[in-house]
Chains A and B, each alone.
Chain A
Amino acid sequence: MDLNFALIKNAIPLLLQGAGITIQITALSVGLGLLIGMLVGVARLSTVKPVKYLSNVYVDFIRGTPLLVQIFLVYFALPILTGSRIDPFVAAIAACSINSGAYIAEIFRGGIQSIDKGQTEAGRSLGLSWFQTMRHIIMPQAFKRIIPPLGNEFIAMLKDSSLVSVIGFEELTRRGQLIIARTYASFEIWLAVAFIYLIMTFTISRFVAYLERRYQVK
Chain B
Amino acid sequence: MIKIENLHKSFGELEVLCGIDLEIAEREVVVIIGPSGSGKSTLLRCINFLEEPSSGSITVDGIALSGEANINAVRREVGMVFQRFNLFPHMTVMENLLLAPMKVRKLSREDAEKIALSLLVKVGMESKANAYPEQLSGGQQQRVAIARALAMKPKALLFDEPTSALDPEMIKEVLDVMKALAEEGMTMVVVTHEMGFAREVGDRVIFIDGGKIVEQGSPEMIFNNAREERTKSFLSKIL
Contacts and interface: CB of A to CB of B under 8 A. Distances in A.
Interface string A113-146: 0001011011111111100100011001100100
B8 interface: no
A214 interface: no
A147 to B, nearest CB: 14
B75 A125 contact: yes
Which of A119, A121, A126, A144 has the most B CB atoms < 10 Å from its CB? Answer: A126
Interface string A39-67: 00000000000000000000000000000
**What's the dominant secondary structure at chain A's contact region?**
helix
A122 B86 contact: yes
B89 A141 contact: yes
Interface string B78-99: 1110101011111000000001
Given A121-B50, A122-B82, A218-B134, A128 B90 contact: no
Given A125-B80, A127-B76, A129-B72, A137 B104 contact: no
A126 B134 contact: no
B148 interface: yes
A97 to B, nearest CB: 28
Contact of A128 (B79, B87, B100): B100
A127 B90 contact: no
Interface residues of A, number: 19
Contacts of A127: 72, 75-76, 100, 104, 152
Nearest to A121: B50
A172 to B, nearest CB: 38
B237 interface: no
B101 to A, nearest CB: 9
Interface residues of B, number: 25
A144 B75 CA distance: 29
Query: Which of B72, B86, B148, B149 has the most chain A CB atoms inside 10 A of its CB?
Result: B86
Given A122-B82, A137-B88, A128 B134 contact: no
Quick one: which of A122, A136, A137 has the most chain B CB within 10 A?
A: A122
Nearest to A122: B86
B95 to A, nearest CB: 10
A119 B90 CA distance: 11
B48 interface: yes
Contact of B88 (A122, A124, A125, A132): A122
Contacts of B100: 126-128
B132 interface: yes
A125 B90 contact: no
Contacts of B76: 126-127
A58 to B, nearest CB: 27
Contacts of B89: 141, 218
Interface string B37-80: 00000000000101000000000000000000000100110111
Contacts of A116: 86
Contacts of A137: 88, 99
Given A118-B82, A122-B86, 7 more contacts: A122-B80, A122-B145, A125-B48, A126-B75, A126-B148, A128-B100, A128-B104
Interface of A: 116, 118-119, 121-129, 132, 136-137, 140-141, 144, 218
29 contacts: A116-B86, A118-B82, A119-B86, A121-B50, A121-B86, A122-B80, A122-B82, A122-B87, A122-B145, A124-B50, A125-B48, A125-B78, A126-B75, A126-B79, A126-B104, A128-B99, A128-B100, A129-B72, A132-B104, A136-B99, A136-B103, A137-B88, A137-B99, A140-B90, A141-B88, A141-B89, A141-B90, A218-B89, A218-B134
